[in-house]
Amino acid sequence: MAQVIHLHIGLPKTGTSFVQETLRANRRLLRESEHIRVPFHTHRRLYGVALMAGRGFDPEATPEWAQTHWQDFVDRVRRWDGDLVASHEALSMLGPGRVGMLVDRITELGKTVRVVMTVRDLARQIPSFWQQQVKAGGTESFPDFLDRIRTDRSVRFWQQCDAARVAQSWSEHVGADNLTVITVPSRSTPSDTLWDRFAPAIGIDPLAVPPPEVPRVNASLGVVDIELVRRMNLIVSERGELSLDATPHHHGRRAAIGRRVTSGGDRSEAPTYPAALQPWVVEESSHITEALAALGCSVVGSLDELMPGSEPPPGRDPGTVTDDEIARRAPEVLHDVWLSYEETVLRLHDRLRAAQPGADLASPDEEWDT
């Protein structure tokens, strides 16, 4: 019987950071007790695999770093005679043709592909996706984002967050029997519920492989902080002084301003959309839920969890943030950003000293004072 590679393809903002951190933290335990390997422990490498597939495995169209990560992935798959699990939400962006190419290449390596897809209700997905774009350097306002996703099904949001479309693309190539949809529970459920659902889908005991006590999750910001970051991104973009997408993978985006606003602010004011949009959100959710049910794939949790209620999630519309609120919060956020960059410089300086013992390296303070 062929060994299995479990591909967790997202969707974005469905607890992927939590799942990935749990897999990374338990790599040795998974290998020794569950006989399943996590081939990569860095997010960037699996992004390279997804990018290679997205470019049709064309070396002329794919950056060299992505080709290297793909070859490394292939080598690791060949060496290990047991099961593997790999997780990256960028895999959800692959269209049917690219999905087929990736599945064919993995099958040629002697592995059976099984897909796990985590899905969240649109009511929470919509504001979370926009926030993530802003944290990664985006400049689009929330009202403009809402207008765009309501009128254009080709935008990135629907490419990655239309669970029915993504599930259909993968089931065409792996079969519905090899596709598991896991619904992400509400925040009122215990924090380990997602892992309790995910682990059996890849054949492991969630009690034997527990999540880390303090997992690094992709923290949310309050609406004032998000809007402030968006305006800072606008200034940076207009002046052209710094490219927030300076590198071809997410490692560069991690340096974006939004990634460095980590303290202070009112996080109790989560972003949400105007109540007038709720009928549209309910209608879209109904279409997605019905399509997933018709697909016939395994569902862990309940598709009912994908249906929103009669009201938007609690929170505040980012479009209502005022200039006065921005002005009051700006000094604290700029302080956060400065401290974060300073810590990064000091950390890199220490690495240089360790790599070059005895080198005449000026301290960061000396360099800044000259």
CA distance 194 to 177: 21
| pLDDT mean over 105-130 | 96
Q: Tell me the residue type at 356.
A: Q
Whole-Å CA distances, 166 to 53, 149, 169, 300: 15, 17, 5, 17
Shared domain for 195 and 110, answered yes or no, is: yes
CA distance 25 to 23: 6
Tell me: the pLDDT tens digits for 203-249?
999 999 989 876 556 677 889 999 998 998 898 888 765 444 444 43
Q: Does residue 311 lie in a domain region? A: no
Tell me: the pLDDT tens digits for 299-340?
999 999 999 999 999 999 999 999 999 999 999 878 877 887
Q: Does residue 306 lie in a domain region? A: no
Backbone angles phi, psi at 288, to 5 degrees: -65, -45
CA distance 314 to 245: 32
Task: For the chain, give the mean pLDDT.
Answer: 87
Q: Tell me the residue type at 348.
A: L
Shared domain for 103 and 236, answered yes or no, is: no
Closest CA to 305 of 62, 14, 88: 14
Shared domain for 190 and 237, answered yes or no, is: no
Residue corresponding to tokens 């770093």: 65
Q: Does residue 278 lie in a domain region? A: no
* Side-chain-side CA neighbours of residue 5 (13 Å): 26
CA distance 13 to 34: 27
Q: Does residue 27 lie in a domain region? A: yes
Long-range contacts of 148-152 (CB under 8 A, 24+ apart): 150/277, 150/280
With cut-offs at 50, 70 and 90, classify the pLDDT of residue 366.
very low
Shared domain for 18 and 165, answered yes or no, is: yes
Closest CA to 199 of 34, 12, 10: 34
Shared domain for 21 and 93, answered yes or no, is: yes
Q: Does residue 299 lie in a domain region? A: no
Shared domain for 100 and 19, answered yes or no, is: yes
**Three-class DSSP labels, 216-281:** CCCCCCCHHHHHHHHHHHHHHHHHCCCCCCCCCCHHHHCCCHHHHCCCCCCCCCCECCCHHHHHHH
Shared domain for 50 and 181, answered yes or no, is: yes
Helices 223-239 and 323-355: angle between axes, nearest 10 degrees: 70
Higher pLDDT, 34 or 20: 20
| pLDDT mean over 122-151 | 94
Higher pLDDT, 215 or 160: 160
Shared domain for 192 and 243, answered yes or no, is: no
CA distance 264 to 228: 13
Q: Tell me the residue type at 308.
A: P
Residue corresponding to tokens 């939004």: 258
Closest CA to 10 of 87, 86, 89: 89
Shared domain for 117 and 167, answered yes or no, is: yes
Shared domain for 237 and 189, answered yes or no, is: no
Q: How many domains does the chain have?
A: 2
Domain containing 73 — which CATH number? 3.40.50
Tell me: the pLDDT tens digits for 73-83?
999 999 888 89
Write out the two tokens for 218. 């992709």
Q: Does residue 133 lie in a domain region? A: no
CA distance 167 to 291: 9
What's the predicted TM-score (pTM) here?
0.85
CB-CB contact of 6 with 85 (8 Å): yes
CA distance 111 to 1: 9
Shared domain for 50 and 95, answered yes or no, is: yes
CB-CB contact of 226 with 266 (8 Å): no
Residues in the chain: 370
Q: Does residue 344 lie in a domain region? A: yes
| Full residue range of the structural domain in which residue 80 is found | 3-121+158-201
- pLDDT above 70 covers a percentage of the chain that reads 86
Other residues' Cβ atoms within 10 Å of the Cβ of residue 140: 16
Question: What pLDDT is attached to residue 279?
Answer: 98
Shared domain for 100 and 245, answered yes or no, is: no
Label residue 65 exposed, middle or buried (CB < 10 Å: 0-12, 13-18, 19+). middle
Q: Does residue 37 lie in a domain region? A: yes
Backbone angles phi, psi at 51, to 5 degrees: -65, -40
